[in-house]
Amino acid sequence: MATVSGTTVAAREAAGRYVFAFADGGGADTAILGGKGAGLAHMTSLGLPVPPGFVVSCRAGRDYLLAGQLPGEAKSEIEAHIQQLETAIGRRLGDLTSPLLVSVRSGAPVSMPGMMDTILNVGLNAGTVQALGRETGNEDFAWSCYERFVETYARVVRGISPSEIEDCMMDLGDRASRADVLAALLALVEEQGGSAVPDEPHDQILEAAGAVFRSWDSPRAKAYRRFRGIDDELCTAATVQAMVFGNRGETSGSGVAFTRDPSSGAPEPFGDVLFNAQGEDVVAGERDAEPLSVLAARLPDADQQLRQALGLIEADTRDLCEVEFTIEDGVLWVLQTRVGLRSGRAAVRVAVALVEEGRITIDEAIDRITPAQLEAAAAPSFASEPRAEHVIARGLAASPGAATGTAVFDPGRATELAAEGTDVILVRPTTSPSDVAGFIAARAIVTGRGGRTSHAAVVARGMHRPAVCGIGEVLISEDRRSAALAGVTVREGDVLSVDGDRGLLLRAKHEFDQPANDPAVRTFSSWCAERVQVTAPSGSPLEELRVIDTLADLESSATSAILDLSDPTEVPPADLAKALVQHTGPAPFLRISQKWLGAADVRLRGRVRGIEVPSSATSGGLLRATLEQA
């Protein structure tokens, strides 16, 4: 190895080092830095603007758990790295003007999401909390950070149980001031947790790192390791990182960006930004976030930095990614990136686009698409963006799919009409449990208030009903036979369409798009078809396969082919793939007669995964195989 600065993390660890800055180099040092730490080091090495920090290694964790304390060398290395960190970000721990606050997070070599502990806002005390209040211009925010810090400290660092904390809070009653709550929490830690929360931020960091290491042996983490068969000897690392704040004024903000549109798959950055706010405000949806496109005009530098970061991330992962970011005083920071969740339609379109851009192979594309995504891509949707005059209201696309039916505003009435065979669209201001019967009866659900995690959205997705939430004020008349929906009058019986993909409530019936009309779905299906291979049991020639019928799948609305294998010779094996795609569209479900499956050792090779026993609703005792790679 050459110079000291060029030495790899692995070589330094071998030489006895315990602590590594993110900027010490990427490389796949997950075994040393843990997944979280290695990920941040990797992002830093890509040139992404990651808030600076350092990792106390897994080996330090193992030593801590053996000896009950951190090795002396590890402590002095931490001190040295804290100084570096202070220089890099231009803030100091405990400073009464612009204090540095850090997060201390767990991260094992093997992913154990959420199983171990994390402590935020380390560095707060009676002095720095006031500085944070001044800097953010929001005293309430600063005190609530402090309260959460002390609460986490009580639980995670000092092992006080959540129910003890809850009891302590409720003993205060509901007229307690912020100061009372904090005093009670601090007293609880002192009485039940051995000693007071240290005021000195350096001591807080050391204690927090110890707690993160101990969380490796929490019952929850142990149970998870047993479940996943993870080695108990690995241990976690502790990652210490500067915290950045998106609520330091109008040139600050937080947001979530996708490298492509996760709903439609369109190859354009997509996302939300909330100015003068922290990340959790974006997620909570209490304030309305603005589309990412406003960033170019308001903070052009940050916009430029974000676009550049999104490009780097997608080039590295070769997939659609979701990126959490914060802008602090006009400077962009990337906090987290992960492969982004996407709709079935977007999944297929993005996979096809990435092949066409030469980023992934056809086989990779096929491997990335799950049967459920393909099924969703094949679910009906409305053909095109509707004309503006048809749009009654826009809301959140809370549950995908499209449906048409008559407007109803009362859950009981929805049940009645559905029992008579009417397709019903249930529109409610909000939801309560008593609406659930109406939900079951309705083809689609619309609510005036509530976001993607509202009760209505959860229930609708659970029942595979398209839903649009948060369309605005829904005022239902006394007799429940008409309503004003975001200012537009609609009467029971009016025909409405709900577009759960675009988040639209529409007047009148709209044309459904057949999935085959989506060129990406067509391309993808043809790739799958080329790879379909079905092998019959020995002695049963493939020629016995015959497509006798097609059947609309009751649950998914995808079409399936029924293959009767007992009756010989109609479809030659070479044509099978073609026949399947022809008969089933882009989501080929192969139904094979029970008799045939029961009688012999059926092997469906190639793009076939799993055989499901269908629900009793499926007639004819058919089994279903989902075609994809084995």
605 neighbors 534 (Cβ within 8 angstroms): yes
Nearer to other proteins, 171 or 389 (CB): 171
Q: Please report, as residue ranges, which positions from 103 to 132 form the binding site for other proteins (by CB under 8 A).
A: 113-115
- The 202-221 contact track toward other proteins, x by CB under 8 A, reads ------------------x-
Rounded to whole angstroms, the Cα distance separating 370 from 354 reads 17
The span of 25-33, 98-106, 445-453, 590-598 binding other proteins (CB under 8 A) equals: 445-453
Instruction: Report, in Å, the least distance between residue 327 CB and other proteins.
Output: 24
CA distances from 3 to 8, 45, 320 (A): 10, 19, 38
Rounded to whole angstroms, the Cα distance separating 38 from 24 reads 11
**Site for other proteins (CB under 8 A): which residue of 107, 262, 450, 614?**
450
Phi-psi region of 249 (alpha: psi -120 to 50; beta: other; left: phi over 0): left
Rounded to whole angstroms, the Cα distance separating 197 from 183 reads 12
Any contact of residue 435 with other proteins (CB under 8 A)?
yes
Q: Please report, as residue ranges, which positions from 27 to 86 form the binding site for other proteins (by CB under 8 A).
A: none
Q: Which two tokens stand for residue 320?
A: 């659609």
DSSP annotation of 109 reads S
3-state helix, strand, coil in the chain (%, to 5): 40, 20, 35
Q: Please report, as residue ranges, which positions from 215 to 274 form the binding site for other proteins (by CB under 8 A).
A: 220, 223-224, 227-228
Q: What are phi and psi of 119, to 5 degrees?
A: -125, 125
How long, in residues, is the chain?
630
- How many other CB atoms sit within 10 Å of the CB of residue 134? 13
519 neighbors 357 (Cβ within 8 angstroms): no
Q: Which two tokens stand for residue 461?
A: 């997705």
Query: Comparing C-alpha atoms, which of 594, 584, 499, 603 is closest to residue 542?
Result: 603
Nearer to other proteins, 482 or 525 (CB): 482
Any contact of residue 431 with other proteins (CB under 8 A)?
yes
For 594-617, give the DSSP string.
Answer: HHHHHHS--B--BSEEEEEPPPTT
**Site for other proteins (CB under 8 A): which residue of 162, 300, 541, 598?**
162
Any contact of residue 449 with other proteins (CB under 8 A)?
yes
Nearer to other proteins, 410 or 544 (CB): 410
The span of 5-13, 316-324, 352-360, 433-441 binding other proteins (CB under 8 A) equals: 433-441
Any contact of residue 177 with other proteins (CB under 8 A)?
no
Nearer to other proteins, 118 or 204 (CB): 118
**Site for other proteins (CB under 8 A): which residue of 174, 233, 389, 601?**
174
Q: Please report, as residue ranges, which positions from 280 to 299 form the binding site for other proteins (by CB under 8 A).
A: 284, 286
Instruction: Report, in Å, the least distance between residue 341 CB and other proteins.
Output: 6
**How many residues make contact with other proteins (CB under 8 A)?**
49
The span of 252-260, 266-274, 455-463, 540-548 binding other proteins (CB under 8 A) equals: 455-463
Query: Comparing C-alpha atoms, which of 521, 573, 500 is closest to residue 542?
Result: 573
CA distances from 46 to 68, 312, 318, 345 (A): 37, 7, 14, 30
Instruction: Report, in Å, the least distance between residue 470 CB and other proteins.
Output: 9
Q: What is the amino acid identity at position 375?
A: E
User: Rule CB under 8 A: which residues touch other proteins?
Assistant: 113-115, 162-163, 166-167, 169-170, 173-174, 220, 223-224, 227-228, 284, 286, 341, 372, 411-412, 415, 429-437, 439-440, 447, 449-459, 461-463
